[in-house]
Amino acid sequence: MLNSILVPIAREGRPFIAIFAVATVVLALIADWLLFPGLVLTAWCVYFFRDPDRVTPVRSGLVISPADGEVVSVGPAPWPKELAMGDGEVQRVCIFMNVFDVHVNRMPADGRVVKLAYVPGAFVNASLDKASDQNERQLVAMETRDGQPLAFVQIAGLVARRIVCKISEGQTLLAGERMGMIRFGSRVDVYLPPEAAPLVAVGQRCVAGETVIADLEGTEKAREGAIR
């Protein structure tokens, strides 16, 4: 039980936790009753920046969810124009992270980072479809180990104001490796190779580094889901 509660904390969160803790002390000095809300907010900040280990499926061809959260959209979309990956539509899976989800993002597949592109923008609700084109975002184009194109996009949300991307062009990484995070509510879109079928459905919960969202070597058709 302790292992599930006392999980590692992302380095990016330590300054925020310290600020919340100091603010709690200041509030307590101002008035005793302010101690409790300060402690609650500090505990939430610690919870937000948790960074648990994940068990990533390692079979070749699998595309793994880069984010914790709910699948809010699955369907055709063009490659992001900023990445210059060609014309035509591919399948896109959009995963929305609320403020209670783990916000550390992970690589969706084994492969090499081909191109990075940062786009400043708005901060509309990340669960809306227009967030893919209007919000501040960090785009990543990669080539899988067997040469297939793949892209994913970190998108800032209504509350999020900082996208952290720790990878660089030319770097080779493994599926499930940590690559960055988005602070305080956000979304990650995954663009699959043209022939790949999404294996998740709208409304499904994904776990970063664990949930399989596509199989590039499989022949299964796109899945549908039902609430039961």
Catalytic residue IDs: 186
Residue 57, classed as helix, strand or coil, is coil
| Cα separations in angstroms, 167 against 19, 57, 89, 205 | 27, 21, 26, 26
Secondary structure of residue 32 in the 3-state scheme: helix
Residues 93, 215: contact at Cβ < 8 Å? no
Phi/psi of residue 153, nearest 5 degrees: -135, 125
Identify the CA nearest to 61 among candidates 188, 148, 123, 134: 148
